[in-house]
Structure 1
Amino acid sequence: MIDQLTSYQRPSGHGYYGKFGGAYIPEMLHPNVEQLQQSYLEIMQESTFQAEFRDLLHDYVGRPTPLYYAKRLSSVFNTNIFLKREDLCHTGAHKINNTIGQILLALRLGKKRIIAETGAGQHGVATATVCALKGVECIVYMGEKDIERQAPNVARMRMLGATVIPAISGSRTLKDATNEAIRDWINNPSDTHYIIGSVVGPHPYPDMVARFQSVISEETRWQLKEKTGSELPTHVIACVGGGSNAAGAFYHYLDELSVQLVAVEAAGHGINSGMSAATTALGKPGILHGSKSLLMQTEDGQVIEPHSISAGLDYPGIGPLHAHLFESGRATFLNATDEEAMRSAFEVARLEGIIPALETAHAFAALNKMDLNSNHHVILCLSGRGDKDLSAYMKQMDMIGETGK
């Protein structure tokens, strides 16, 4: 029986959000995962852990990140849009919040070696960064296709001392990198900690990553009150692949039912094109990478290869928290195509002087699909900056001329 939840924030004792979650793992990983399950909350709540975590977030990561009122963008949509500037974090994205927390946890568990998976490369860079900071060996698995399209981040990881290993099977993207990281963990269970970058994987990873990323919404509440007099916006918008930035942006609003939560998935070439990553539109319950969630799969359970122009959203599943938010109706799930995301990226650059990551561009694209008015206060999580995507943006400009229109 699945335990009943009293809060959207917390999974059951068995790691389920509604019917999604759990820990479906090989026997070789049981000791590692069980150790995490039994110790992660206790370690995270220790005063010394919290002090070091908060100090690093402030002095190393650069938190709190600003909550910026996007005046010109707000004017276009006749509403009030506030951007939570995770792109201003050290390393250029929200991923560092989680890797700081997990490296501190891994050291307290006596682990000497860190592995990670990465798609767009931001989680890989963030993992390599904290391993360099703490002097720990770092191995990052990355799809061969993503290595080609995210070359600047690959260079950053290597400069930071990480070993980057290409995943050459399947679609050669994020799913396959995750497969390779799990294989490594099975082969090196005693000395290795796997820093998963999103709210996916076996329990307790979805809860653990969400808690580390919850600093986003924790800050947003008091920042919005300073600007508007209220902690509660009308909407919170975030892009979703596995869903870590969305989990962080939503976390302290999950039980505030007056706040509309809007998750935006990657539709690729279109929902029915056969080249999409819109899991809630196309998926059904299944098990992938250690947890039960929604998954794009064939009738006989084979994973359908996803597609997105954005490497960070190119994943065939979604975290179990988000699957529960979708099924329960707590969050609204929209999607944006490659073309819509690209168009929105140029719009934001020209209106606000901010070049967003292609992942975040999908969230911006959702503004065109929402019924907003001047009484609304909209928080949009600007999860990362667009430096890593300049090659894609340059190709777009080459195709359509320098104006990008």
Structure 2
Amino acid sequence: MRTYTYGPYGGAYVPEVLHRPLAELTEAFGEALRDPAFLQEFQHILTHYVGRSTPLFHAANLSRKYDCQVYLKREDLAHTGAHKINNTIGQALLAKRMGKKRVIAETGAGQHGVATATAAALLGLECTVFMGSVDARRQEANLFRMRLLGAQIQLVESGSKTLKDATSEAIRNWIATADDTYYIIGSALGPSPYPKIVQTFQSVIGSEIRSQFYQQHLRHPDAVIACVGGGSNAIGTFSGYYEDRDVRLYGVEAGGYGLASGQHAAPISEGNKGILHGFFSYFMCDENGNIRDTHSVSAGLDYPGVGPELAWLADSGRVEYIDATDEQALAACMELARCEGILPALESSHAIAAIPVVAAKHGPGCHIVVTLSGRGDKDMGILQEKLQP
């Protein structure tokens, strides 16, 4: 079995019972990428069902405010309201190719769960989504959407009852049902080959940004920003500019109540190397690898680790990581809503919060692209609680 690694990061640290399913997945993924019919069907669905390509929008009001040129990659306009659908369509097609009848998924903010349920409904697959009960309470709208789409929901009551624990339960279920079940992982993490699979299906974001921006300006942007939890939208975004060293890449982690508080989800900024959920990377853990609790106002960023490729990009210096606190993300959410009439997801709001920081680094008139990974409808309850007088 080929194991994808990124410097020292990645790998497949899993029970022996998963070695065969992962080997089969690696082989099927490689074959699919060499099959023009698979790639054509994937592209057809992205175009005619998901609604790609998504626009690259010049945020003129925000640009005037920060004396730079801000462009938003509108993944919030993709079907289901976030970038997650790109990956779930690809993996659901892969599941059908492998003869699987059932798919499972983990979810935090609910967008990956909704996207998985959507892909399963489209392609005629049974679907079960694992979600921590804490996240289910703060993302009730997405919980209901998944049920409307026909998914079964398994609420997780163990641990912190958030994304980490939902992922653990999904892996346990996969161990018991791997013969007929495909596990659709939503972030660019997990045991190999999952980080590579997610990066491949999400790379459409970066390739579109590169093409769209160049067509408009006959040059590349000075900086590209994406929020970072597990890392699916970030790795898809950054992949468009790996070789262009004149384009600076910025990942924005969830600063929670501030790095000094210890209550955050910023493993690269303030974490250690360790192993969780089958891969080696940076985690919110102590020197002995014990995983610490995390906090973020954004359920989708409330995960203790980051994908292995993003860890490698941090060590190599290709991506610079900064953090945005809950307070800064909430303020950025309100700012974009009032400046541009766009209500972003709280995950994306962390990336928006970094605009003044990045603009100051690059100077007046610089060109900045921000991936708006999702829309804020799902966060209305949180926004009412946090922002309503």
Q: Same fold (TM over 0.5)?
A: yes
The corresponding residue for 1:328 is 316
Match of 2:270 among 279, 282, 289: 282
Q: CA deviation digits over 1:141-195, x for unaligned, max 9?
A: 0010000000000000000000011111111000000000000000111111000
Q: Distance in 1 between matches of 2:267 and 2:348?
A: 17
| Aligned counterpart, 1:390 | 380
1:200-254 deviation per Cα after TM superposition (whole angstroms, max 9, x unaligned): 0011110110010000111111111221122x21111000000000011111201
The corresponding residue for 1:188 is 177
Q: How does 1:88-127 map onto structure 2 within 5 Å? A: 88-127=77-116
* Aligned residue number for residue 221 of structure 2: 233
Partner of 1:377: 367
Q: Distance in 1 between matches of 2:193 and 2:339?
A: 41
Q: Which amino acid aligns with 1:251?
A: S
Specify which of 221, 245, 249 is matched with residue 261 of structure 1.
249
Matched-pair contact (CA < 8 Å) for 2:84–2:186: yes
Instruction: State the match for 1:44 in structure 2.
Output: 33
Q: Does 1:246 align with 2:238?
A: no
Is 1:284–1:296's contact at 8 Å kept on the other side of the alignment? yes
- CA offset at residue 13 of structure 1? 5.3
Residue type at the aligned position of 1:170: G
Separation of aligned partners in 2, 1:50 and 1:299: 43
Q: Is residue 366 of structure 1 aligned with residue 354 of structure 2?
A: yes
- In structure 2, stretches of 5+ residues that fail to align are none
Contact 2:185 2:194 in 1 (8 A): yes
SS at match of 2:338: helix
The CA distance in 2 between the partners of 1:82 and 1:308, in whole Å, is 26
Q: Percent identity?
A: 52
| Structure 2 residue corresponding to 1:165, chosen from 133, 137, 154 | 154
* Residue of structure 2 equivalent to 1:319: 307
Do residues 56 (structure 1) and 45 (structure 2) align?
yes
**Residue of structure 2 equivalent to 1:357:** 345
Name the residue aligned to 1:209.
198
Per the alignment, in what secondary structure is the counterpart of residue 380 of structure 1?
strand
Q: State the TM-score, normalized to the length of structure 2.
A: 0.98
Offset, 1:396:
2.5
Q: 2:137 is matched with which residue: 148, 166, 185?
A: 148
> In structure 2, what residue type is equivalent to 1:199?
A
Show CA shifts across 1:98-151 (max 9, x none): 000000011001111100000000000000001011111100000100000000
Counterpart residue type for residue 357 of structure 1 = A
- Equivalent residues of 1:217, 1:248 under 8 A apart: yes
Contact between 2:275 and 2:289, CA under 8 Å: does it hold in 1? no
Equivalents in 2 of 1:296, 1:396: separation in Å? 25
Q: Distance in 2 between matches of 1:335 and 1:299?
A: 22
* 1:337 counterpart residue number: 325
Asked whether the 8 Å contact 2:272–2:286 carries over to 1, the reply is: no
Secondary structure of residue in 1 paired with 2:273: strand
Secondary structure of residue in 2 paired with 1:110: coil
**Which of the residues 202, 208, 224 maps onto 2:213?**
224
Deviations 1:81-102 (Å, cap 9, x if unpaired)?
1100000000000000000000
Looking at structure 2, the residues matched to 195 and 381 of structure 1 have their Cα atoms a distance apart, in angstroms, of 23
Which ranges in structure 1 are unaligned for 5 or more consecutive residues? 1-11
1:357 positional shift: 0.1
- 2:71 paired with 1:82: yes
What is the SS of the residue equivalent to 1:280? Answer: coil
Q: CA offsets per residue over residues 339-364 of structure 1, 9 Å max, x none? A: 00000100000000000000000001
AA in 2 matched with 1:109? M
**Contact 2:105–2:113 at 8 Å: present in 1 too?**
yes
Please tell me whether the aligned partners of residues 79 and 377 of structure 1 are also in contact (alpha carbons under 8 angstroms): yes
TM norm structure 1 = 0.94
SS of equivalent to 2:337: helix
Between the aligned partners of 1:334 and 1:131, the Cα distance in structure 2 is 36
Structure 1 residue 375 displacement after superposition: 3.5
Q: Are the equivalent residues in 1 in contact too, given 2:139–2:378 (CA < 8 A)?
A: yes
- 1:25 aligned onto 2:14: yes
**CA contact 2:4–2:10 (8 Å) conserved in 1:** yes
Is the Cα–Cα contact under 8 Å of residues 68 and 366 in structure 2 kept in the other structure? yes
Q: Give the conservation status (yes or no) of the 8 Å contact 2:272–2:287.
A: no
Once residues 229 and 274 of structure 1 are traced to their aligned partners in structure 2, the CA distance between those partners, rounded to angstroms, is: 44
2-side partners of 1:384 and 1:390: how far apart? 13
CA contact (8 A) 1:44 1:105 kept: no
Equivalent pair of 2:132/2:166 in contact (CA under 8 Å):
yes
- Contact 2:273–2:289 (CA<8 Å) still a contact in 1? no
Asked if structure 1 preserves the Cα contact closer than 8 Å seen for 2:28 and 2:94, the reply is: no
Separation in 2 of the partners of 1:396 and 1:241? 21
